Amino acid sequence: MNEMKFPIYLDNHATTPVDPEVFEAMKPYFLEKFGNASSKNHSFGWEAESAVMHARKTIANFINANPKEIYFTSGATESINLAHFGIAEAYSHKGKHIISTAVEHSAGNDSLHKLEERGFEVTYLPVNHEGFLDINLLKDSIKDSTILISVMAANNEIGTINDITEIGKICRERGIIFHTDATQALGKIPFDVQKSLVDAASFSSHKIYGPKGVGGIYIRNRNPRVRIIAQIVGGGQENNIRSGTLNVTGIVGFGKAVEICSRVIEEEPVGIKFLRDKLYNGLTSQLDDVLLNGSIDQRLPNNLNLCFKYVRSEVFISSLKEIAVSTGSACSSSTLKPSRILKAIGLTDEMSTSSIRFGLGRFNTIEEIDYTVKRIVEIVKHLREASPLKSVESSGQKQSIEQIAKRIEQQSE
C-alpha cells in the first residue's frame, strides 16, 4: 500500500490536477515545437497547426461532432459567453426571448443578466428539490420570440444530470437553438451532440485533467446550421469565430486529456462512483442529520454535496486543513453568502451555509476516503457538541444567521 500523501484533494469540480500523460504531451510544445499555428510559411507553423488539428479531431470524435464544429477558447466561461452573446446577436431579428434555469453556473447566469441589460428577456425556470426542471413548464414558457434555450448538462454544485436529450427534442421541434454548458459532464458521463440534439456546447480542459486556460465550444454547422457572431475579433483565427493566437500547448494538452477520457470513460466513472458511495455511506452511517443535496440517482459519479446540520461550513472547512473540499463553485468561493444553487432547490440559509461539496477524481484512493470519513466524523461531532445552531433549535430560540455565525466563530478561535 502506498503511503498516503497530504493534503487530500477532494475539490475536483473546481479543477483537476494535470494528468502526467497530458503533461508529457505538452512539454515539447513549450520548447522545441513552439510555432504559431497561424504561421503558414514554415515548418514551425505547420507543425503547430497539425497539432491543433489533431486535438480538434480528437475532441470532435469524442462528442460525435465534425472537427469543423469545434472552436478553441480560453475556457468554459468564454465559451458560454460566446454562445449566449453570439447567438443572441445573430438571432435577435427573430426575437429576444431566452429560457434558462435558476441553477446555471455563474458564467451562464451573469452573461444572461448582461443580455437583459441589453434588452433581451430571460426566463429563469425554477427547479425541484433535486435540481431538475419541469419539462412541461419549459414547454409552456416558450414564446414565438424565443430564440435560445440554455440549460447545463450537469450541475457543478449538486451534480444533477439533466435530460438534455428531451430538451433537445423540444428545441428541434420548435426551431429554437439549444445550448448546454457541458463543463462538468464532459469526460464523466456519455455526451453525444447528435443523440442529444445539442446545437452549441461549452466545455473546459481543466475539469478533465488538462491544463487551465483552454476550453472549447461546439457549434453545429448543419441540420441546422447555427449562426454565431464573434465576440473577439482580430486575426480571424478559428474561422473568424474567435480571433487570437491559439494556445497550441494548452490545446495539445486538452486534446490529450480528451483522448485519455475516451479510453477510460467506461470504467473510470464506476470506480469513482464506488469511492463516492463509500464516502457517503461512511458518513451517514456514523452521523445523524446529514442530508444529501440533489438527486441520488441522476447524479455525476464524482459529486457529493451534503448538508451537515448544526455545523457552519466555513468553520468545518477551517477545521479540516488536511483535506481540500469546498462549499460550492470556485467562482463564488470568496463570498460567504448562501449558495444560489442550494437556495434554488429549497434549502434555507442555515442549511445552505452548512453544506459541503466533495468532488472526487481520478487519483483519489480508498485509503484517502477512509481517512476522510474518520476525520469528518470527528470534526462534525466536535463542532456539534457546542454548536449554537443545535442549541438554538433545541430550545426554540430565534436568532439571526449573523448572530449564530458570530458565536461559532468566537468558539472556534
pLDDT tens for 106-129 read 999 999 999 999 999 999 999 999
**Cα–Cα distance between 120 and 98 in angstroms, integer?**
7
- Same domain, yes or no, for 245 and 120? yes
Question: Is the pLDDT at 409 greater than 70, yes or no?
Answer: no
- Classify residue 340: in a domain, yes or no: yes
CATH of the domain at 195: 3.40.640.10
Please tell me the pTM assigned to this model: 0.92
pLDDT tens for 83-108 read 999 999 999 999 999 999 999 999 99
- Classify residue 47: in a domain, yes or no: yes
**Cα–Cα distance between 283 and 285 in angstroms, integer?**
6
- Over range 138-153, report the average pLDDT: 98
pLDDT at 412: 44
- Same domain, yes or no, for 226 and 278? no
Q: Which domain holds residue 177?
A: 20-264
pLDDT tens for 191-216 read 999 999 999 999 999 999 999 999 99
**Cα–Cα distance between 296 and 283 in angstroms, integer?**
15
Confidence of residue 298 (pLDDT cuts 50, 70, 90): very high
pLDDT at 387: 73
DSSP 119: T
Read off the C-alpha cell for 98.
431566452
Confidence of residue 134 (pLDDT cuts 50, 70, 90): very high
- Classify residue 287: in a domain, yes or no: yes
- Classify residue 1: in a domain, yes or no: no
Question: Is the pLDDT at 55 greater than 60, yes or no?
Answer: yes
pLDDT at 330: 55
**Cα–Cα distance between 161 and 130 in angstroms, integer?**
10
- Same domain, yes or no, for 246 and 326? no
pLDDT at 337: 82
**Active-site residue 261, yes or no?**
no
Report CA Rg, the chain.
Answer: 22
Question: Is the pLDDT at 400 greater than 50, yes or no?
Answer: no
pLDDT tens for 317-355 read 999 999 999 997 555 545 568 999 999 999 999 999 999
pLDDT at 323: 98
By percentage, how much of the chain surpasses pLDDT 70?
91
Residues contacting residue 23 through CB under 8 Å, at least 6 positions apart = 253
- Same domain, yes or no, for 187 and 212? yes
Q: Are 199 and 179 in contact (CB under 8 A)?
A: yes
C-beta neighbour count of 337 within 10 angstroms: 10
Question: Is the pLDDT at 397 greater than 50, yes or no?
Answer: no
C-beta neighbour count of 188 within 10 angstroms: 26
Number of domains present in the structure of the chain? 2
- Classify residue 95: in a domain, yes or no: yes
Omega prior to 224 cis, within 30 of 0 = yes
- Same domain, yes or no, for 273 and 260? no
- Classify residue 180: in a domain, yes or no: yes
pLDDT tens for 234-249 read 999 999 999 999 999 9
Q: 230: alpha, beta or left, given left = phi > 0 and alpha = psi -120 to 50? A: beta
Q: What are phi and psi of 296, to 5 degrees?
A: -80, -25
Q: Name the domain boundary from 238, 264, 290.
A: 264
- Same domain, yes or no, for 26 and 166? yes
Q: Which of 180, 136, 138 is nearest to 156 (CA)?
A: 180
- Same domain, yes or no, for 213 and 277? no
- Over range 217-233, report the average pLDDT: 97
CATH of the domain at 392: 3.90.1150.10
- Same domain, yes or no, for 35 and 143? yes
Greatest Cα-to-Cα distance within the chain, rounded to the nearest angstrom: 78
Confidence of residue 404 (pLDDT cuts 50, 70, 90): very low
Grid cell 513549450 in the structure block, residue = 30
pLDDT at 388: 66
Question: Is the pLDDT at 389 greater than 50, yes or no?
Answer: yes
pLDDT at 390: 64
Omega prior to 28 cis, within 30 of 0 = no
- Same domain, yes or no, for 67 and 139? yes
Read off the C-alpha cell for 268.
473510470
- Same domain, yes or no, for 307 and 176? no
Confidence of residue 231 (pLDDT cuts 50, 70, 90): very high
Q: Name the domain boundary from 229, 264, 299.
A: 264
Confidence of residue 3 (pLDDT cuts 50, 70, 90): confident
- Classify residue 62: in a domain, yes or no: yes
- Same domain, yes or no, for 243 and 383? no
Mean of all residue pLDDT scores within the chain: 93
- Classify residue 195: in a domain, yes or no: yes
- Over range 52-80, report the average pLDDT: 98
Q: Are 56 and 192 in contact (CB under 8 A)?
A: no
Q: Name the domain boundary from 264, 299, 316.
A: 264
- Same domain, yes or no, for 79 and 131? yes
Question: Is the pLDDT at 408 greater than 70, yes or no?
Answer: no
